[in-house]
A and B are shown apart, each in its own frame.
Chain A
């Protein structure tokens, strides 16, 4: 395993499968009456959130606590770009406090990479979402969810997603989830198609390992999983699309469209959903929609990542003592 988790693109197929398999083990812990492992006892993890995200922060915190780590939550309010709120200063403070790992969420693309490579701090860095760049644990939990649903919980162990057809729909341009998923799903052998209005696809996308379509209906029938991305209403003020109504008519997922998907196909969403925009309530609440599972799987995946990044480095003797 690598030292940091910055980008889904850094993971090899074997790394990724190992994380997914480890997450299955971690998921079993959640089924026990006492949902705790002693693996990271005595280790301190800081959740460094420069950008609000209660969902992601809680997910990491749950994962850390189930591994018995000591948790420090650091929320830096306001704009990350404002002077005085220096990433470097914060990093050096954490270093001085002897933090063993940093989970960072930042509004600026590349901030976790800077943190990991600038010599400001020695601890492993886990990217919990940076700007419009990457969100690797989201991609991992999505892949985990797909493997469970499309391959099987036990049958999936050791397996990747070879041949699975995944359609990602929505604001690709501003989405770190889309970038991470394209990278990871490609590594795992899936075939990815991005669907969006041309305004919401980045210039340069032709170099990504995926297909791009502007027509949702033409790809739905060939999809094993359809992942809907959140589309912020403000985008229409910047002329990315004319109206909310037109967007949902062309790119939203409603009951009619869902009915045209193959029977086994699932609907995914990284949350939070904008109901009525990219997804109708009927779809969001259907049992083909995996949103709630994705949340639960997020904790298992984050446990697996922390375990492999931190626990794996523990000396053998500590491990034996635990057993």
Chain B
């Protein structure tokens, strides 16, 4: 592999530096590095970040290849600046055995656009009753360390407790989709002023908060760590803040859409805004931004949830829940966090690469941009302004809530271990 010189990019938003990549690793970071024998990328004005890591991606394969495959999903990831994604377990069949997680892992290797780290189901068939073979999935070639029934909540307190305890044996973590099932039967949107008016079944904040409260207490009791998926309410932020202040080993994620959109969007009855957990209120959005800025929320995770057109081109109640997110995540974070002054680019690197890599134990990802480190890198043009056109997506699905919206920033290059997966905004 030849050398690449990324010239004059602001590393993590700081002073401009030249970064020389040789083969799979960063050879040098400095000023006026020699371009001899290297392909040069003029990167003045751009931001260089460690390759982004998504702890919450639905790649849909096996089973729903009509909405996404490992190949199309990882192409979308590379387009969005990601070098590693964690693939959720709610596939068909469910990723609850070593066989399925190895299959997904192998498909990721074959695709080659980014590292695919399968997440294993906590319980057999995501049914919440019987623990899946967590150890076997960990010991498999896929080396699973993150376990989640995402899409469903592990609502049985005893099963959750056991899972939290059991994965300690191999340093795993349980990622909880916090949703009290009885409180959310028939839920269609956030319960509040808008749901009352629209006559759509309410998904109350307390259904999320009560599970988070329970799970941080369980984690404390058994001395385990727990990760909270897609935290969406101001109340959840308070609970996580309290838990952290108490020394409980909890981490939490927020999605880009919960940082930007509110339940007011649902007034259009356009199912592109239907997502689980639902879009909340302006007050929640502001609390989430603040919590991401102060570190109460550790990471941004996309909850990239592709759905075919027909599953969204219908009445609200019949529509599937979820939004694609890999290709717009960084722009939404720039818009909501950087341009509001809440987070600098070093903060973005932490929340979208360093911290998710640490939580998920993604080896070689989320590393400093310095000599000797694996060359997993993302180059961003922050001055770019563009209107989101789903036709441009690499994802097989188009269910984005941002169609027609102007968002800042664009990923121009993505490097996976020194190999460009995205060049000038085009997949390599």
Task: Write the residues of chain A forming the contact surface with B, with a CB cutoff of 8 angstroms.
Answer: 80-81, 83, 86-88, 106-111, 113-114, 117-118, 130-134, 176, 179, 202-205, 207-208
Given known A-B contacts A133-B198, A179-B197, A113 and B269 have beta carbons under 8 A apart:
yes
- Decide: A204 and B317 in contact? CB cutoff 8 A: no
- Decide: B196 and A111 in contact? CB cutoff 8 A: no
**Is B125 at the interface (CB under 8 A from chain A)?**
no
- Decide: A109 and B194 in contact? CB cutoff 8 A: no
**Is B191 at the interface (CB under 8 A from chain A)?**
yes
**Is B200 at the interface (CB under 8 A from chain A)?**
yes
Collect the chain A residues with CB atoms within 8 Å of residue B199's CB.
Answer: 109-110, 130-134, 176, 179
Collect the chain A residues with CB atoms within 8 Å of residue B197's CB.
Answer: 179, 204, 207-208
Collect the chain B residues with CB atoms within 8 Å of residue A205's CB.
Answer: 196
- Decide: A202 and B316 in contact? CB cutoff 8 A: no
* Closest residue of A by beta carbon distance from B194: A204
* Closest residue of B by beta carbon distance from A174: B199
Task: Write the residues of chain B forming the contact surface with A, with a CB cutoff of 8 angstroms.
Answer: 188, 191-200, 202, 204, 268-270, 310, 313-318
Shortest CB distance A196–B (Å): 13
Collect the chain B residues with CB atoms within 8 Å of residue A109's CB.
Answer: 188, 198-200, 269, 316-317
Collect the chain B residues with CB atoms within 8 Å of residue A204's CB.
Answer: 191-197
Shortest CB distance A212–B (Å): 11
Collect the chain A residues with CB atoms within 8 Å of residue B202's CB.
Answer: 202-203
- Decide: A203 and B315 in contact? CB cutoff 8 A: no
* Closest residue of B by beta carbon distance from A113: B269
| 25 examples of A-B residue contacts, CB within 8 angstroms | A83-B318, A86-B310, A108-B315, A108-B318, A109-B200, A109-B269, A110-B269, A110-B315, A110-B316, A111-B317, A114-B269, A114-B314, A114-B315, A114-B316, A131-B199, A131-B200, A131-B317, A132-B199, A133-B200, A134-B199, A179-B199, A202-B202, A203-B202, A204-B195, A207-B196
Q: How far is the CA of A204 from the CA of B317 in the complex (A)?
A: 20
Collect the chain B residues with CB atoms within 8 Å of residue A87's CB.
Answer: 314-315, 318
* Closest residue of A by beta carbon distance from B193: A204
Collect the chain B residues with CB atoms within 8 Å of residue A88's CB.
Answer: 313-314
Q: Which 10 A-B pairs have the closest CB atoms?
A: A204-B196, A110-B269, A133-B199, A132-B199, A108-B317, A202-B196, A109-B199, A204-B193, A111-B315, A108-B315
Shortest CB distance A76–B (Å): 12
Shortest CB distance B314–A (Å): 6
Shortest CB distance A193–B (Å): 17
Collect the chain A residues with CB atoms within 8 Å of residue B192's CB.
Answer: 203-204
Shortest CB distance B42–A (Å): 44
Q: How far is the CA of A114 from the CA of B268 in the complex (A)?
A: 8
Collect the chain B residues with CB atoms within 8 Å of residue A176's CB.
Answer: 199
Shortest CB distance A127–B (Å): 12
- Decide: B200 and A110 in contact? CB cutoff 8 A: yes
- Decide: B204 and A203 in contact? CB cutoff 8 A: yes
Collect the chain A residues with CB atoms within 8 Å of residue B194's CB.
Answer: 204
Known contacts A87-B315, A108-B315, A110-B199, then 12 further A-B pairs from the complex at CB < 8 Å, ordered by chain A residue: A107-B317, A109-B269, A114-B316, A131-B199, A131-B317, A133-B200, A202-B202, A203-B204, A204-B196, A205-B196, A207-B196, A208-B196
Q: How far is the CA of A133 from the CA of B195 in the complex (A)?
A: 9
Q: How far is the CA of A87 from the CA of B316 in the complex (A)?
A: 11
Collect the chain B residues with CB atoms within 8 Å of residue A208's CB.
Answer: 196-197
- Decide: A108 and B196 in contact? CB cutoff 8 A: no
Shortest CB distance B347–A (Å): 35
Collect the chain A residues with CB atoms within 8 Å of residue B318's CB.
Answer: 80-81, 83, 87, 108
- Decide: B316 and A80 in contact? CB cutoff 8 A: no
Collect the chain B residues with CB atoms within 8 Å of residue A107's CB.
Answer: 317
Shortest CB distance B181–A (Å): 14
- Decide: A207 and B313 in contact? CB cutoff 8 A: no
Shortest CB distance A74–B (Å): 16
- Decide: A203 and B198 in contact? CB cutoff 8 A: no
* Closest residue of A by beta carbon distance from B316: A110
Collect the chain A residues with CB atoms within 8 Å of residue B269's CB.
Answer: 109-110, 113-114, 117
Q: How far is the CA of A220 from the CA of B324 in the complex (A)?
A: 53
* Closest residue of B by beta carbon distance from A115: B315
Q: How far is the CA of A88 from the CA of B313 in the complex (A)?
A: 8
Collect the chain A residues with CB atoms within 8 Å of residue B196's CB.
Answer: 202-205, 207-208
* Closest residue of B by beta carbon distance from A85: B318
Given known A-B contacts A109-B200, A113-B269, A134-B199, A80 and B193 have beta carbons under 8 A apart:
no
Q: How far is the CA of A81 from the CA of B313 in the complex (A)?
A: 13
With a 10 A CB-CB cut-off, give which of B195, B268, B270, B314 has the most chain A CB atoms: B314
Collect the chain B residues with CB atoms within 8 Å of residue A130's CB.
Answer: 199
- Decide: A207 and B317 in contact? CB cutoff 8 A: no
- Decide: A80 and B317 in contact? CB cutoff 8 A: yes
Shortest CB distance B310–A (Å): 8
* Closest residue of A by beta carbon distance from B310: A86
* Closest residue of A by beta carbon distance from B317: A108
Q: How far is the CA of A114 from the CA of B202 in the complex (A)?
A: 20
- Decide: A202 and B198 in contact? CB cutoff 8 A: no
Collect the chain A residues with CB atoms within 8 Å of residue B315's CB.
Answer: 80, 87, 106, 108, 110-111, 114
Q: How far is the CA of A202 from the CA of B195 in the complex (A)?
A: 8
Q: How far is the CA of A107 from the CA of B188 in the complex (A)?
A: 14
Q: How far is the CA of A202 from the CA of B204 in the complex (A)?
A: 11
Collect the chain B residues with CB atoms within 8 Å of residue A83's CB.
Answer: 318
Collect the chain A residues with CB atoms within 8 Å of residue B188's CB.
Answer: 109
Q: How far is the CA of A92 from the CA of B268 in the complex (A)?
A: 20
Collect the chain A residues with CB atoms within 8 Å of residue B310's CB.
Answer: 86
* Closest residue of B by beta carbon distance from A183: B197
Collect the chain B residues with CB atoms within 8 Å of residue A80's CB.
Answer: 315, 317-318
Q: How far is the CA of A108 from the CA of B315 in the complex (A)?
A: 7
Q: How far is the CA of A204 from the CA of B191 in the complex (A)?
A: 8
Collect the chain A residues with CB atoms within 8 Å of residue B195's CB.
Answer: 202-204
Shortest CB distance A3–B (Å): 17
* Closest residue of A by beta carbon distance from B202: A203
* Closest residue of A by beta carbon distance from B191: A203
* Closest residue of A by beta carbon distance from B185: A238
* Closest residue of A by beta carbon distance from B196: A204
Q: How far is the CA of A110 from the CA of B198 in the complex (A)?
A: 7
Q: How far is the CA of A107 from the CA of B194 in the complex (A)?
A: 19
Q: How far is the CA of A52 from the CA of B196 in the complex (A)?
A: 24
Collect the chain A residues with CB atoms within 8 Å of residue B270's CB.
Answer: 114
Q: How far is the CA of A176 from the CA of B200 in the complex (A)?
A: 11
* Closest residue of B by beta carbon distance from A173: B196
Collect the chain B residues with CB atoms within 8 Å of residue A134's CB.
Answer: 199
* Closest residue of A by beta carbon distance from B188: A109
Shortest CB distance A14–B (Å): 23
Shortest CB distance B197–A (Å): 7
Q: How far is the CA of A103 from the CA of B317 in the complex (A)?
A: 20
Q: How far is the CA of A176 from the CA of B188 in the complex (A)?
A: 16
With a 10 A CB-CB cut-off, give which of A106, A111, A208 has the most chain B CB atoms: A111
Collect the chain B residues with CB atoms within 8 Å of residue A110's CB.
Answer: 198-200, 269, 315-317
